[in-house]
Structures are given as structure tokens and as C-alpha cells.
Structure 1
Amino acid sequence: MKLSKCPRCDLNYITETEKYCKVCLREMKGDAPKEEIELCSVCNETPALPGRDVCVFCLKEMNNGGVHTDDGQDAEETVDASSIGGMDSVSTMDEIIPEIDEDIPSQEFGEIENELSLESVREEEDQDEDEDEDDR
């Protein structure tokens, strides 16, 4: 089975038994390619709007806030303390203190902080710029 390019489009390959590629045959017959209809990602029932993943109904619902209650009360839920169960309150929790690596002496912390300081980096850059201007 030898493959050759389609004589009409010179893009697609065809076998020796075929006269034109499938794309050219479809164009010559006048058949338009079938586009797959995307369903709404929210309700999965109605077709989605072009360029969006939701249908008209879901889009309207999202724009209106999406919360509809019959009695007109707020839709916020309040959490009851008994529903939390065995969780401790924040006030009874221990404060988490990060462990400081004791391999580094406390004197060196200040030196490291000075080396990493942005102010000193800016000063050095300004000095370098001044020296470059003086050299010109």
C-alpha cells in the first residue's frame, strides 16, 4: 500500500485506490463538517452559548446571583458551635513558634540580615552608577 498526496489539495495523503482525500471529497459533495454541540457545563441539558460553556438559562441565573429563596431571607448559613464537634477553639490552641537553627550563632543573624538588606544593595548600585558617570 503506497501513499501519495491528494492531487487536489496536495496536503493530505491517500492510498493508491483512492482518487481524492476525504477532506476534498467532502468539499466536492458540499457536505459541511458536523460541529459537535457542547452542552452546558452547569445543567448538562441545553446547548451552551457560542464562546461560553454555559447555556442562556444558567447564565441568567449566575448574573442574578444564583440564589433564589421563596421566603426572601438571606441565604447565608450560620454555623452552630455544636456542629463543629471536637474541634478546639482558636483561643485554646498553642502558638506555633518556629524553631531557630542553633548552628548559626546569634551574632551572625545580624550580619546575614545586613548582607541581604535591599537598602545596602541600592546604595551599592548608586555608587556603581556614580563611578560609571565619573569614568565617562
Structure 2
Amino acid sequence: MTLRWDAFLDQVRERGEYADRQEAERVARVVLALLGAHLVGEVRAHLAARLPEDFALILLNPLQSAEPLSPERFVRATAAWIEGATDQTAAWDVSAVLSTVADAADEDLLQQILFQLPAGYDLLFGRPQPT
């Protein structure tokens, strides 16, 4: 099931405690553009199919990444793209968006996503995995 635009942004806004939808949208665009660079093939396509169209297009046309970023570097990259962000605020932003993405994905798709990412992303998605 595809999440509607307003429902997706409302979840991000609530989790990130943002003042308005515009702030939630700005953060979601950055995080999804970075995430898209880390996912390939059917996994990226299946996730995109569950997101609102504008966000799906961002995921499918990501920023380029030369190598998979560790969770810490992903957060730092997010901070670099969000004006005025620190590593701490970016970690909050990433968590607000990725936990919403995790809710949009079913458990099987989430496992496929985590399989494509370096270790530690389960925490960013708010879904700690047993070791």
C-alpha cells in the first residue's frame, strides 16, 4: 500500500517534531536522496512503490554515492545537506524519515533494504535487529 503524501509528511513531522510540513518535506527529500544512492534494483523499486510519488522519484533518482556510507557517515552527509544542521540534529532527522519509511515497507522488504546497507542502519530505521 502506498502512503499518501500528506500522511507520510505528517508522520515525519510528528516524529521529528518539526514546526511545519515544509521542514518535514525538506528533511525527507535529503534523507531519501541519500538512501536511494545506497539501494539498488528491485529493492529500491519496491520501496519506491510504497512511497508517495514525489518521494518515490527522489529515491529512484538519488544523489550519487561512490561507496556505501556507514550509518555515522550517512548522518554526517545528511547534516551537510541540511542548512544549519549538526550531526545530532541530522541523526534526529534521519531517524524521523527512516522510521516512517520502515512503516511504509513491510517486514520482508525492510530486511531486504537492511541487507543492502552497511551494518548499523537497523537503528536508524528504528528497528534494532538481534545480533
TM-score scaled by length of structure 1? 0.17
Of the two structures, which has the highest relative contact order with CA contacts closer than 8 Å and spacing of 6 or more? Answer: 2
